[in-house]
Amino acid sequence: MKVKIKILGLALVALSLFFLAAVYAAGQAEKEESPRRVAIRAGRLVDGRSASAISNAVILIEGERIAAVGQAMAIPAGAEVIDLGKATVLPGLIDCHTHITFQPENYYEDLFRKSPIDAAVVVHIYARRTLEAGFTTVRDAGSEEFIDVALRKAINEGKVVGPRMQAATLAVGASGGHNDLVGFSPYLKFSHFSGIADGVDEIRKLVRFEVKNGADLVKLIATAGVLSEEESVGAPQYTLEEMKAAVEEAAMWGKKVAAHAHGAEGIKLAVRAGVTSIEHGSLLDDEGIELMRERGTYLVADIYNHDFIITEYTRLGYPDKLIEKEKKVGDLQRENFRRAAKAGVKIAFGTDSGVYPHGWNAKQFAYMVRYGLTPMQAIQAATANAADLLGWAESVGAVSPGLYADLIAVSGDPLKDISELERVKFVMKGGRVYKKE
């Protein structure tokens, strides 16, 4: 009797082991199956790199990457077909200057009745809006309390819907400057991670702290700004020595520096210090243009912003002083953008989204065309050039084999009417469809 029970027991154990092995094998087989194959057909393709569009485009996608691209290419059997009809397909767009963790509602309320936790709770909404507007990648140019790092992680893990992200974390700025809270009682103090650093040693230490906590790039406040209460709008806020220290320290960790700079002198100091891009660039002079061209420094100019600040910021409770500062730079920034582009300065698309509502990023294309770019140049500023600036040309910014299947589509021809990009109908990121109208 005992022996019989033992045999029965052994048989049961063997049976269940066999069953488990079978389940495991089935699971493995599923994993080893070739990745999902999708073929997209579209009337036109603007691939982000080539000088002209191709018609009757076919894009083959395997898993999260592009496998092949061609005109009227045969579609392999078994591929799922997404037929976009006459639409124009483009690479997912890249905005090189967002503040995706922030959007102003009221000047004083935002400062004194909210905490970074309020921002952290709603940031997923801005991330989704940005992606659905066709921006599959952003370089975020500064955020409080490492919310950007947490967002990037949640997006990468698939918990939150949003664009691929590079995060600058806290901007690095001088005491009393654009990154500081200026104009209030000296007794007023917030306990938070501070992006204030003065002198070479503090700057190096802050850069190390940021890299340690997940920064992909360093955002350096090279000059005064518009939406901060210091007197000037463009005076330098760091010395050449300090800027050089930031660039050198960032480089040690393999990071690039993006410099916020409105004033002509500060722009030149930052370029000489070796930053990778000048953000805003409002009062750029001839010498600055020449320096940028020589060194291949990118200009990331947020030339849509002015209109939104002028029409909306008084309603949002912003002090007149700041609106007056905006009036000093708005038109000049646009004219200087035109001059820089004409002189051959490298241009990447960046909007400062967050100053205006997230999801409106593409409104800036029309301004870039109005101020001197061809529609193709404006598109490439947000695709190939932007990817180059981010150091991500091998993964994004073009419709090309091996890159991520980050694609968008618009119904008309953006080379004829650039505002088509404000009406994105289809969004795919990493082979997954997020929008299809």
Residues that bind ligand ARG (CB under 6 A): 225-227, 280, 302, 305-306, 309, 326, 329-330, 333, 352, 355
292 vs 355 by CB, closer to ligand ARG: 355
Q: Which is nearer to ligand ARG, 336 or 385 (CB)?
A: 336
Q: How far is the CB of 258 from ligand ARG (least distance, A)?
A: 12
Task: Name every residue whose Cβ is closer than 8 Å to that of residue 166 and which is 6 or more positions away in sequence.
Answer: 138, 139, 140, 152, 216, 217, 390, 392
Taking the C-alpha atoms of residue 411 and residue 88, their distance in angstroms, rounded to an integer, is: 6
CB closer to ligand ARG, 46 vs 172: 172
- Nearer residue to ligand ARG within complex by CB, 263 or 431: 263
Residue 10 or residue 310: which is nearer to ligand ARG going by CB?
310
CB of 332 to ligand ARG, least distance (A): 9
- The least CB distance from residue 252 to ligand ARG, in Å, is 28
Token pair, residue 96, equals 């090189």
> Closest residue to ligand ARG, Cβ-based?
225
- Using the minimum distance from each CB to ligand ARG, give the nearer residue, 142 or 274: 142
Least separation in angstroms between CB 376 and ligand ARG: 24
Name the minimum Å distance from CB 57 to ligand ARG: 36
Closest of 239, 228, 232 to residue 220, by C-alpha: 239
CA distance 356 to 419: 17
Nearer to ligand ARG, 313 or 392 (CB): 313
Please give the helix or strand (H or E) that residue 36 lies within, else none.
none
- CA torsion sign for 159, 161, 163, 168 is negative
Cα dist from 35 to 26, 32, 62, 287, 371, whole Å:
16, 8, 6, 53, 44
Minimum CB separation of residue 91 from ligand ARG in Å reads 25
Other beta carbons less than 10 A from residue 343's beta carbon: 13
From the centroid of its chain, how far is CA 25? 42
User: Shortest Cβ distance from residue 274 to ligand ARG (Å)?
Assistant: 22
Instruction: Please tell me the distance from the alpha carbon of residue 218 to that of residue 78, in angstroms, as a whole number.
Output: 46
- How far apart CA 362 and CA 134 sit, in angstroms, is 8
